[in-house]
Amino acid sequence: MPAPIRLRELIRTIRTARTQAEEREMIQKECAAIRSSFREEDNTYRCRNVAKLLYMHMLGYPAHFGQLECLKLIASQKFTDKRIGYLGAMLLLDERQDVHLLMTNCIKNDLNHSTQYVQGLALCTLGCMGSSEMCRDLAGEVEKLLKTSNSYLRKKAALCAVHVIRKVPELMEMFLPATKNLLNEKNHGVLHTSVVLLTEMCERSPDMLAHFRKVRQLSSSQLVPQLVRILKNLIMSGYSPEHDVSGISDPFLQVRILRLLRILGRNDDDSSEAMNDILAQVATNTETSKNVGNAILYETVLTIMDIKSESGLRVLAINILGRFLLNNDKNIRYVALTSLLKTVQTDHNAVQRHRSTIVDCLKDLDVSIKRRAMELSFALVNGNNVRGMMKELLYFLDSCEPEFKADCASGIFLAAEKYAPSKRWHIDTIMRVLTTAGSYVRDDAVPNLIQLITNSVEMHAYTVQRLYKAILGDYSQQPLVQVASWCIGEYGDLLVSGQCEEEEPIQVTEDEVLDILESILISNMSASVTRGYALTAIMKLSTRFTCTVNRIKKVVSIYGSSIDVELQQRAVEYNALFKKYDHMRPALLERMPVMEKVTTNGPAEIVQTNGETETAVLETKPPPSGLQPANQANDLLDLLGGSDITPVIPTAPTSKPASAGGELLDLLGDLNLTGSPVSAPAPQIAQPPFLLDGLTSQPLFNDIAAGIPSITAYNKNGLKIDFTFERSNTNPSVTVITIQASNSTELDMTDFVFQAAVPKTFQLQLLSPSSSVIPAFNSGTITQVIKVLNPQKQQLRMRIKLTYNHKGSAMQDLAEVNNFPPQSWQ
Amino acid sequence: IHFILLFSRQGKLRLQKWYTTLPDKEKKKIIREIVQIILSRNQKTSSFVDWKDLKLVYKRYASLYFCCAIEDQDNELLTLEVVHRYVELLDRYFGNVCELDIIFNFEKAYFILDEFIIGGEIQETSKKTAVKAIEESDMLQETVEEYMNKPAF
């Protein structure tokens, strides 16, 4: 059998292939030859064959059949074999292969070989891809080599130890003794790898970190001063050709030392102080004309910002970054922006000084630079610079890549909300964003925007006019269209009456408005959600427009048979409004009140009204739901007719707009409202302040319930109601009563309603019950919370009325509760 | 450093060194992706690319792209120096190195890399020492087989 072709020969041949197919053919032929050669256990040429295999592997062809051969090469005595064998192992035999572990013994032997280059090969392989098992087995050998005086091996052993620690962190301890005099070396290779090892240990284990900060090293000096000394020598020493890079001595080592110093100095005053001088020295003396000098400066700046450095040093660091920003080299600008982003929180004012340069970077061509500049810009916006910054950012939004637009739009909204100098400016800015990047605006921005618009009462006319004009030309950007539809629905009357003060009012007829809304409904570009908005808007206009009600009726009835279920449901309900509940229509579709932004619960922010919400999730509630509180109020008046006890209404839903004032208890005023309540805001709105205490989710209440005994307020016919009490820590006049209703009969009690009334000097608030069914056999309870305000500290009395269905008949009972314990009201 | 890739302007891989464990398929996918990203960057952009949770640092030397993937806390500017140092080592060993040298002597390129970097960290900062180690290792090779010698195509 002829000798297998040489490696170079093969490479040359393969490169002459003109097509992929030709190449594949050659490779397959050669692979076959190699395979048979392997089968023949040919020792002489095994090395050559594996080398060829590795080449083919690099081209992308499978080479797994060579794995075992690599092992055989490693086990061979010949250095040439070992070299290729280990290379093959590193390329083909990662720890996922079964064959991997078989290497362990070979490596162990080679770690103790007489030739340092063999030992080196073994250390290198172990340090690049050793598995956890291998590391565990061989850690002892590595540790031994870490203490050798041979610097060639010592440096490799140090990095091997780093790998072992990364794979098996528990083994870190065993390398600790060997680190004692690692830094006494003169050899830069050993120094560098030792610093890497120390860094790895300190980063992984806070104990190690503490140890290294304090412990006395062999040459009785602590770690930090030792590092400082080494660094100083590097800077001050003269030209050393071996380690010089563009006039700087061993920048790799300098940077690594700076990084270790950073870790040591973090959150540690003593260490930080010890390194102040050297950092200042490096920062001021390093040449900045070449990349290598800037690399060192960059690391220095990172270190200064991260440790407890004195303010002068910090200013120095930020100024360096400022200079970086002006550098022509893109790479330098890039790292400057990255670092500034990290420090903008802590050193805000210093970074502000460089604002104009940062804003210029928005115009850079490099995507990464632009992104960082954008993030930084948002971090720098404040009340003083908001107008200028917004101008730049809006311009950026116009011209930037699509992947930025969503983030940029969100950022602009946030910044505008925080720092808007005037409402008009705010609205204008929003409009600008919606029109330039309308389709990239996030979904959750739409409800926030709508709320914003609602709250700027004096700008309604202006806003709706601008929005109308915006969608006249183009209604493809969904968020814009959604906001616009909603506004037109709400403020369409202002639009047609031409009331705008801020700018020239436009002449719009009702029909034109309906035209545009209908086109949105019809358009293919409109999402289902958008159509929902449009339909609801049209409906609302039925109360605001005067001449086109018939047209609206027609439109609504058409969509009663729409394929879109959501649309259909809405249309059907609106139709019903026209037909059966026409008397309620004006009240239901009344103008939305000013919404309060509630920060506690997410969903509570979204105002739920009868028939519409602002979120993409659309629910419709049947119109008559608002009638309930009014009815209950009526009942209570009947119940207590003429007595001196003031009635009370349950809270959910509260039945009047916030603008009617905060007095929950002005019941008669409530009942005079037109028809049923319209906009039922989330329960947290417009409560008198003293009762707000109870509405937050924080434990404001004295949890020592044991202090106040609970009572059984009612116990008849199997229905038992217990009261438990809590007093508020913040307001001593408030008592919170939790009622628990249980049912000991053998049938459930359904439609359970609990009502209560208190004497005139008290005020009472009833929150929603947990349910309206009390299960039989005491298997469950209904809980409900009552809050009582008793500013005059009078004795608490209560009259309760209970209604429920039981055993097929409606039950009702009245009772007085007089057994309140003194601690509940004193 | 997580991995180092060398590839030509046509996207052909010349060297791949992985310091983390990944399945072969995954590696191939990553290589394809990264080659595409880097080859599509134009002159005016920086040498750094954010990629997944790593940073790619790349530099072109003649017809070869050198690409390193580093972690978030690593110094990008220094990585450029690392790449440059590797090129200098190759140059010193081969004498005016060009892409063909690396193609025909790829195993040597690996050996040199392995004397410079272990486990993703630098082991030797002196050019002289690193190259000397390679040359002495070369001497240890028992037979003067053609493909183990210094380049001859």
Contact A128 B118 (CB under 8 A): yes
A644 interface with B at CB cutoff 8 Å: no
Distance from CA of B28 to the nearest CA of A (A): 8
Q: Considering CB atoms only, which of A80, A253, A294 is closest to B77?
A: A294
pLDDT digits (tens, 9 = 90+) for A4-40: 788 888 888 888 888 888 888 888 888 888 888 888 8
H helix or E strand, kind and range, residue B7: strand B3-8
Asked if the model's pLDDT at residue A605 lies above 70, the reply is no
* Residue A95 contacts B, CB cutoff 8 Å: yes
- Classified as helix, coil or strand, A712 is strand
Q: What's the mean pLDDT when you consider all of chain A?
A: 77
CB-based contact B46 A163, cutoff 8 Å: no
Mean pLDDT of A243-267: 87
Q: How many CB pairs under 8 A join A and B?
A: 172
Taking the C-alpha atoms of residue A784 and residue A769, their distance in angstroms, rounded to an integer, is: 4
Yes or no: say if A567 and A518 are a contact pair by the CB < 8 Å rule.
no
Of A631 and A525, which is predicted with more confidence?
A525
pLDDT at A176: 85
**pLDDT at residue A632 tops 70:** no
How many C-beta atoms lie closer than 10 Å to residue A604's C-beta? 15
pLDDT (tens digit per residue) in B53-74: 899 999 999 889 999 999 988 9
Domains defined along chain A, listed by start:
443-589 (no CATH), 711-824 (2.60.40.1230)
**What end-to-end distance do the CA atoms of chain B give, in Å?**
32
Q: What is the pLDDT of residue A597?
A: 57
CA distance A436 to A439: 9
ipTM: 0.91
Which residue in A259, A262, A280 sits closest to A271, CA to CA?
A262
More confident residue, A8 or A680: A8
The interface residues of chain A toward chain B in range 650-709, judged by CB-CB distance below 8 A, are none
Residues 73-132 of B with CB under 8 A from A: 75-78, 80-82, 85, 103-104, 106-107, 110-111, 114, 118-119, 121-129
Q: Quick check: B133 and A196 CB within 8 A?
A: no
Domains and CATH numbers, chain B: 3-148 (3.30.450.60)
Determine the pLDDT at residue A515.
82
Q: What is the model's pLDDT at position A660?
A: 35
Question: Which uninterrupted H or E stretch holds A809?
Answer: strand A809-817
pLDDT digits (tens, 9 = 90+) for A699-737: 434 444 446 788 888 888 888 888 888 887 667 778 888
Does A439 have pLDDT greater than 50?
yes
> Would you give the DSSP letter of residue A114?
S
Give the distance from residue A153's alpha carbon to the nearest chain B alpha carbon, in angstroms: 10
> What's residue A325's pLDDT?
86
Give per-residue pLDDT as tens, A69-112: 888 888 888 888 888 899 998 888 877 777 777 888 888 888 88
Asked if A254 is an interface residue toward chain B (Cβ–Cβ < 8 A), one would say: no
Neighbours of A91 (CB within 10 A): 20
pLDDT tens profile A140-177: 888 888 888 888 999 999 999 999 999 988 888 888 88
- Of B73, B71, B9, B40, which Cα lies nearest the Cα of A255? B73
User: What's the pTM?
Assistant: 0.67
**Contact state of A292 with B81 under an 8 Å Cβ cutoff:** yes
Report residues of chain B scoring pLDDT below 70.
142-153
How do beta strands A749-759 and A248-249 pair? unpaired
On whether the CB atoms of residues A801 and A755 are closer than 8 A, the answer is yes
Alpha carbon separation from A778 to A715, A752, B68, B145 (Å, rounded): 13, 15, 70, 94
CB A504 within 8 A of CB A470: no
Smallest CA–CA distance, residue A110 to chain B, in Å, is 15
pLDDT the model gives residue A822: 80
How confident is the model at residue B68, as a pLDDT? 93
Contact residues for A613 (Cβ-Cβ < 8 A; gap 6+): A606, A607, A619
Q: Which residue has the higher pLDDT, B104 or A474?
A: B104
Cα angle, residue A128 at apex, residues A126 and A133 outer, rounded to 5°: 50
Cα dihedral A153→A159→A163→A168 (10° resolution): 80
A268-316 pLDDT, tens digit per residue, is: 887 788 888 888 888 888 888 888 889 999 999 998 888 888 888 888 8
Cβ neighbours of A12 in B, within 8 Å = 104, 153
Which residue of A146, A321, A341, A368 to mutate against B (max B Cβ within 10 Å)? A368
- The span from the CA of A657 to the CA of A680, in Å, is 7
Confidence band for A425, pLDDT divided at 50, 70 and 90: confident
Chain A residues with CB under 8 Å of B15 CB are: 58
Cβ contacts of A259 on chain B, cutoff 8 Å = 75
A140 is written with which tokens?
């002892």
Report chain A residues whose CB lies below 8 A from the CB of B20.
none
